[in-house]
Amino acid sequence: MKILVTGGAGFIASNLVDKLIELGHEVSIVDNLFSGKRENINQRAKFYEEDITNSPGLEKVFQQEKPEIVFHLAALPLVASTKEPSEDARVNIVGSINLIILCKDYKVKKIIYSNSGGASYGEPLFLPMNEEHPLKPVCPYAISKHTVEHYLEIYKKDYGLNFTSLRYANVYGSRQDPFGEGGVIAIFTNKLLKRERPTIFGDGTQIRDYVYVEDVVNANIWAIDNGGGEAYNVGCGVGTTTQEIFDVLNKEISSNLQPIYECERIGDVKECILDSTKLRKIGWFSKYNLREGIKKTIEYYKREYAKETRF
């Protein structure tokens, strides 16, 4: 199939592109390289350096590629959106609307949307949180990401544009940016490999549900033929504190460093564990537990660190 992936130079999307190409699909990528990296781009994919907020430029891609399936992963990152909420709305909402309209106009069979489960639900009323949990976003990023689901629902009802929305837990694994402000496993791993002390924001008791990137990719692949018009949580259903993540990494890397503790960040929820029963009932499952995923992640960053220090 002809498939378009927005944000295809980014962490999750580049892993998805690799899998789609491995499965024999013809893949094109749209990415403005704001947070994506050129080195992540699969050479067998067709790359367009374009911004989803530029509707005329985006339409040229649709005219050229005529995609059958669109995976929408392009977004302004969480921390950046907190600092610039108007830019967050412009990219995450208006940019997504541009894409949805083009999917309708060019008769795309389905759009598969990457949403944030952890951010969208807000502070939990119960744990684990299933798809029926009230949506009470606590930061601009969460508001904008969830808002897009409403547009997808309207365009399915009014125009028959099929969609699946995947609400992710905390995704980690290869190609996650270790120099950003989100993604503690990547950040901690990079710091510990370089014998530097990582920073924990808060007291380390924050609880998150961590899901390995390959499992998230497989959920996206599953969604090509399943889950039309529905939202699904994608997580492991297991809560792990930030302190526990640090302790596991410290042990696996054979480090005895201690973290630096700083104030909690605005917009961070205290607990997030997702119930993915709805997705599991129709065929998806998480292949990797946290220990297995962390070991694979450490090996990836060891290879990257070796490249940096080779010369």
Active site residues: 141
Buried b (16+ CB within 10 A) or exposed e, 265-298: eebbbebbbbbbebbeeeebebebebeebbebbb
CA dihedral 9, 10, 16, 20 (to 10 degrees): -10
Within 10 Å of residue 101's Cβ, how many Cβ atoms? 17
Three-state DSSP state, 95: helix
Q: Which residues pair with 199 in a beta bridge?
A: 260
CA dihedral 293, 296, 299, 303 (to 10 degrees): -110
Contact criterion met (CB below 8 Å) for 253 and 300: no
Three-state DSSP state, 243: helix
Tell me how far apart the 2 most distant CA atoms of the chain are, in Å: 58
Return the HEC string of 156-225.
Answer: HHHHCCEEEEEEECEEECCCCCCCCCCCHHHHHHHHHHCCCCCEEECCCCCEEEEEEHHHHHHHHHHHCC
In whole angstroms, give the CA distance from residue 215 to residue 289.
10
In whole angstroms, give the CA distance from residue 158 to residue 153.
9
CA dihedral 195, 199, 203, 204 (to 10 degrees): -60
In whole angstroms, give the CA distance from residue 114 to residue 7.
11
